[in-house]
Structure 1
Amino acid sequence: MKKLILLLFGLQLTSCQYFEKQVPDEDALLQERLKEIDWNKVSSYPSFPECDAITDKNLRKECFFSTLTRLVQEKLGADTVALLAPQIDTINLKVTILADASMKFEPQFPVDTTINTTQIDSILKVKLVDFPQVEPAQKEGVPVTSQFILPVILDVQGD
């Protein structure tokens, strides 16, 4: 019986090391996780309500861009932008979707352009308002600001 008690006592002393594990440092875990995150890509792209039902990431992205392009072209239509600058058939818009779901549009003109960019810019600011609610892009579940260039084809004839 003494041998059994000594054996159990010896096992108890040596088994404590198996339960005593080193807890990782919180800062070290955070730094390791931050290194794993690709900061150049978002977890989910911005989305309009009509695209929310799509679960595939790439199809949802395509839905967002096609919807945004359609909405911008509808708002501009055969408008004065195409009439003021008939030599330009496409305007590149820098679209910024902020984390608070607001949108900003900035036209990108060629450097050597001879058109009145301030007049076109002011027309775009007046026309490109009242978009449907947009869900901002997300990174690790947190809304983030995203920015991209959207080419908009100007239609002079309105077809």
Structure 2
Amino acid sequence: MKRLVVCVFILLVSCDYFENKKVKTEDIVSQELETIDWKSVDEYPSFTVCDSVSEKQARKQCFESTILNHVNDYLSKQSIVVSQDVEDTIAIKLKIDNLGEISILDIKTKPETQEIIPEIDTLLRGSIASLPKIFPAVKRSQNVTTEFILPVVVSIK
């Protein structure tokens, strides 16, 4: 008799154990989305010259220095005539989409710089447009769009 009671008790309790719990796909997706760090990428955007660099931070540095060097070279080849000295750090907000296309979202300069060099926006846009092919950033094996601010120091004496 004791065995029968124990078996019936085990059967009653174990019914919940075998019950299938249904998990909704939406719940899995929302839980996964909460765990993703949306502020960082697995690989930064890159140029062909940065292919030999494997460390993440060094690759980011290579990318940024390649853009800065290109912009500086482009601006140094332009004939910019000024009537007074110019010292400014121009902030260029850039977007690189998931296809590797770069675009300028905003250019912030001092009003004095804009007055002394009215064509500065056009020159900066030309330098960015002439960049070599960019490979987009990667997040979880997918190409993603990124935005960043590039500080360009303008010093003309």
Same fold per superposition (TM over 0.5): yes
Describe how 1:122-133 pairs up with structure 2 within 5 A: 122-133=122-133
Distance of 1:90 and 1:155 partners within structure 2: 9
Higher fraction of strand: 2
* Residue segments in structure 2 that go unaligned for 5+ positions in a row: 1-15
Query: Post-superposition shift, 1:129?
Result: 2.6
Paired position in structure 2 for 1:136: 136
Matches within 5 A, 1:5-154: 22=21, 24-77=23-76, 79-81=78-80, 83=82, 86-105=85-104, 106-110=106-110, 112-113=111-112, 115-116=114-115, 119-154=119-154
Choose 85-94 or 57-66, whichever is displaced more: 85-94
Deviations 1:23-56 (A, max 9, x none): 5322211111001011122222111111122221
Counterpart amino acid of residue 76 in structure 1: L
> Contact 2:86–2:155 (CA<8 Å) still a contact in 1?
no
In 2 relative to 1, CA 154–73 (structure 1 residues): closer, same or farther, beyond 3 Å? Answer: same
Greater than 6 Å deviation, 4+ residue runs: 17-20
Structure 1 residue runs of 5 or longer lacking an equivalent are 1-16
Aligned length: 142
* TM superposition shift of 1:18: 8.1
Change (3 A) 1:19 1:84: farther
> Quick one: structure 1 residues 131 and 115, their matched pair in 2 at CA, closer, same or farther if it must change by over 3 Å?
closer
TM superposition score normalised by structure 2: 0.72
Instruction: Report the more deviating stretch, 62-71 or 118-127.
Output: 118-127
Percentage of identical aligned residues: 31
Displacement, 1:81? Answer: 5.0
From the superposition, tell whether residues 89 and 142 of structure 1 become closer, same or farther in structure 2 (CA, over 3 Å). Answer: same
Q: Return the letter of the residue paired with 2:65.
A: S
Q: How much does 1:118 deviate?
A: 5.3
